Amino acid sequence: MKRILFLSKGEDSPSTRYRALQFFPRLSEAGFEPVHVTMAGSPGSYLGALAEARRADVVVVLRKTLPGMLLWSLRKCARRLVFDFDDAIFANSDGSASATRAARFAAMARASDHLFAGNAFLAERAAACNPAVTVVPTCIDAARYDVTAEKPADHVDLVWIGSRSTRKYLEQALPALRLAAERVPGLRLKIIADFDLPDAGIETVPVRWSAEREARELASSHVGIAPMADNDWTRGKCALKVLQYMAAGLPVVSSRAGVNAEVVRPGDNGFLADSPEDWARAIEDLAGAPALRENLGRAGRELVLSRYATGPVFETLKGALERLA
Q: For the segment 86-98, what is each residue's pLDDT rounded down to a tens digit? A: 999 999 999 999 9
Q: What is the pTM of this model?
A: 0.93
pLDDT digits 0-9 by tens, 235-268: 999 999 999 999 999 999 999 999 999 999 999 9
244/138 Cα distance (integer angstroms) = 11
Angle ∠(278,307,287) on CA atoms, nearest 5:
30
> With 90 as the cut, is the pLDDT of residue 231 above it?
yes
User: Cα–Cα distance between 207 and 116 in angstroms, integer?
Assistant: 33
- What does the alpha-carbon distance between residue 101 and residue 97 come to, in Å, rounded to a whole number? 8
Domains in the chain with CATH codes: 2-139+309-324 (3.40.50.2000), 142-308 (3.40.50.2000)
CB contact set of 22 (below 8 Å; sequence gap of 6+) = 141, 310
Distance CA 254, CA 74 (A): 40
Determine the pLDDT at residue 41: 85
Q: Is the pLDDT of residue 54 over 90?
A: yes
Q: In what order do the strands lie in the sheet with 32-38?
A: 32-38, 2-8, 58-62, 81-85, 114-117, 133-135
Q: Is 44 exposed, middle or buried (0-12, 13-18, 19+ CB in 10 A)?
A: exposed
